[in-house]
Amino acid sequence: MGLIQLDSRAAALIGVVLIVGYVVSTVQQWARLRHFKGPAIACFSQLWLISRVGGGRTHLDLWEACKKYGDITRVGPNDLITSDPDLMKHMLNVRTRYKRSSWYDAMRLDPTRDNVLSQRNDCLHASTRSKMAAAYSGKEVDNIEITIDENVQRLLDLLDTKYISKGRPFDFGYKAQYFTLDVISALAFGEAFGDLETDSDVNGYITAMEESMPTIIVTTVMPWIIKLLQLPIFKGMLPSQKDKAGVGRVMAIAKRVAAERFGPNPKVQRDMIGSFVSRGLLQHEVESEILMQILAGADTTATAIRATLLYIISSPRVVHAMRAEIEGAKPSLPIVTDAEARAMPYLQAVIKEGLRIHPPVVGLMSKEVPRGGDTFKGQYLPQGTKIGYCAWGIFRRTDIWGEDSDGFRPERWLYCSEDKLRLMEGTLELVFGYGRWQCLGKNIALMELNKVFVEASSIIPDPGCQESMTYINVSLVNPAF
């Protein structure tokens, strides 16, 4: 009887200790960021953030939170978001002491291996990035522009011969994805997937990503799920190189292509992989970077193409102005050169405005405050705090973009003071990352946009002509991550 009483007292004591510990921990969590406003539940739980990230409208929910609570808003016990571009640049500059947070762990398409996007070790990230830079700059890759031209022509031929000439409707959203997947695969390892040639999602990659992206996005704020999925009991849920389609199929392609560049008789080719190998990337590193190239290089650029085209065809004024400039420039045939496109002011304004009003990447991409904490504009940021990116908030600030920041108006880039233009262009840089973590593929993505919009101007429906609007649909999904 005495033992039973002792056990019950011990259990009660343990329960009290656990409750007290939880209360103390909760109060401490609340206290360390109490000077930042946000949803009440966010002070004590990640439920608000998880529900928003998993709800399909993250970019809008975060923007609404920043509008309500301020440029720095609390969205979790240890999570802040910011719509202040100055803070973003402060965190991302080349000499920053801020680190990548656990958000980036979800960027491993192969959960067991890091890539240049997921790598959180600064030294390893810098080393990998330096080995990849020459390939993205074009210094060690033959015919980047020619490869893009070939795929632009395939896109135009597909649309004309199979759809437009026969009056058949088509969804340009998917064609844009076929185009960007073929471009990045051709540049990466000299072998396009063949989506444009077959007018299909050859490897099932697009379908797989549409199905898995919601899960990937949730794991960015619940990184423990990634570790859980690596347990033997759950491994069957992950992509496998034995899969006949989807991400697993692409993993198998990456493994095969990487293996061809190593061994006793390696294949030597002046493409991106060839540059990676010559600069010292190991075989397993090449596999990981191929996968990341496809995710980061195809999905984001396709989103930029789809979104911007949707805004273009929705504005007769923009269509007329674009066409007039392109016709007056008399660009090269069959495909405009990148230099010619960059010399078209209105086109460049359209591209900038498209990237601004619908940034292709809107994930938190949280950074951690360095040891010792930091103070920004008089506000103390405790060490270890995660600060995420509120893209919609940054690119709709009326103090930067004007009172009509919700509208698509390319002219804002053409008719403004030099100081205003400098401010807008400096802020727009955040679309491609900034400083230490700027996107390596920025120039390639811009080249694709330059060429696609010039050449697509000939297939854009005539403004006001309802009949011409019936054959083109631009599906628009939320930005990927």
| Residues placed in the known binding site for heme | 439
- The H or E element that residue 79 is part of is strand 79-82
In angstroms, rounded to a whole number, what is the distance separating the alpha carbons of residues 81 and 41?
15
In angstroms, rounded to a whole number, what is the distance separating the alpha carbons of residues 301 and 355?
10
In angstroms, rounded to a whole number, what is the distance separating the alpha carbons of residues 52 and 58?
5
Radius of gyration in angstroms for the set of CA atoms belonging to the chain, rounded to a whole number: 25
Residues sharing a CB contact under 8 Å with residue 359, sequence separation 6 or more, in sequence order = 391, 392, 395, 431, 479
In angstroms, rounded to a whole number, what is the distance separating the alpha carbons of residues 309 and 324?
17
Helices (H), 330-465: 338-342, 345-357, 391-394, 398-401, 418-428, 442-456
Counted residue by residue, the chain has a size of: 481
Binding residues: 439
Give the three-state DSSP class for 386: strand
Other C-beta atoms closer than 10 Å to the C-beta of 157 total: 12
Instruction: For residue 439, give the nearest of 343, 342, 300, 309 by alpha carbon.
Output: 300
Pull the structure tokens for residue 313. Answer: 């065809």
Residues sharing a CB contact under 8 Å with residue 84, sequence separation 6 or more, in sequence order = 71, 72, 377, 394
Give the three-state DSSP class for 400: helix
Instruction: For residue 250, give the nearest of 217, 218, 295, 213 by alpha carbon.
Output: 295
Give the three-state DSSP class for 97: coil
Give the three-state DSSP class for 282: coil
- The H or E element that residue 72 is part of is strand 72-76
Give the three-state DSSP class for 416: coil
Pull the structure tokens for residue 432. Answer: 């491609």
